Structure formats: C-alpha cells, structure tokens
Amino acid sequence: MIGKGPRGDVTILPTLVINNRKYRGKLDKGAVLKAICAGFRETTEPAVCLSDDIQTNGCLENNGGCWQDKAANITPCKNDGCKCPDGFKGDGIHKCEGKSGATEVGWGFLWVIFFGLVASGIAGYAVYKYRIRRYMDSEIRAIMAQYMPLDNQGEVPNHSHHIEM
C-alpha cells in the first residue's frame, strides 16, 4: 500500500502476462501454473505440466455435468465446458438436438446429383442440336430442289406448309 492520506490508499496489484495476454484469475500457484501450461502447444509442454495435479479432465467424472446420448455415444463435454458438437443445438448441459444418421446427406451424394444433372443437360443439348441440324438440312434441300434438281436424290420431304389453290 502506498499513501496513508485522508483521500484513501492506493493498492498496487501485480499483473501476470502470459503469451502477451493479461492473466485474470486467482493468483495461487496451481491456477497460475495451469494458465502457463495452457500456453504450450501439445507435445511441447515441460514435464511439470504433465503431472496429475495439473492435468484435469472434468469429463471423466459424471460426464462433467453435461448432457450425454449413450446410445449414439455423443457428448458435448470438452475441457473448457459443455458445448454441443457441430450440427447440434442446445445448451450442452440439459440437451443437444440436431442431426441423426438417417437424415444426414453427404457431400458425395450431392456431387453425384449435380454431375448427373449436368450430364443430362449436355445430352439434351446434343439431341436438340442434332434434330435442328437435320430439320435445317431437309429444309435447305427442299428449297434447293425447287431451283435445281439434285442428282441421286429421291423425293425430299418438305416440312414447310404451303397452301395450293
């Protein structure tokens, strides 16, 4: 404490900085050591961080107080709390609702549908172009046959509709 004047005392508290972040928590040795050990990447932490006093897994006892689906083996318990897995909604403590195996559609199935539609579209376009080309060829031959007879050609069907009087 500094100053004992009539306006009050000023208290100076130590500040702990871990990985350029201010530590906010209890200043007892166990809590501070856990915070320091949490800053290491996995497999790079020192031996003191691997002791049983530091390593805690709250999910081992009573599933950490989180919801659990024993039939599907799904639990939202993580070391930092109860968070529902991806695709599920809920608080993680009382319930997690979401996808089931029967309604889940994989990306592979969607790609097969997409490429099937693309192939059908290309095949339809090819048939359309073939029929248009045949129709146009027969029309051109019919017009040309009116002006000059073509050798080695029998009757040419005429698709145009002329009215004769």
Q: In degrees rounded to 5, what are phi and psi of residue 31?
A: -65, -40
Q: Could you tell me the two tokens for 145?
A: 């046959």
Count CB neighbours of 28 within 10 A. 8
Residue ranges per domain, the chain? Answer: 12-56, 58-100, 105-165
pLDDT tens, 80-92? 667 777 777 777 7
What number of CA atoms fall less than 13 Å from residue 82's CA on the CB side? 18
Query: How high is the pLDDT of residue 122?
Result: 97
pLDDT mean across residues, the chain: 75
Helix (H, G, I), strand (E, B) or coil at 135: helix
- Show the low-confidence residues of the chain (pLDDT under 70): 1-13, 42, 52-64, 77-81, 99-105, 149-165
pLDDT tens, 47-76? 787 776 665 666 666 666 777 777 777 777
Q: With 0-12 CB in 10 A as exposed, 13-18 as middle and 19+ as buried, what is 117? A: exposed
Strands 81-82 and 77-78: antiparallel
Looking at the whole model, is its pTM more than 0.75?
no
Amino acid letter, 68: Q
Q: Can you give the length of the chain in residues?
A: 165
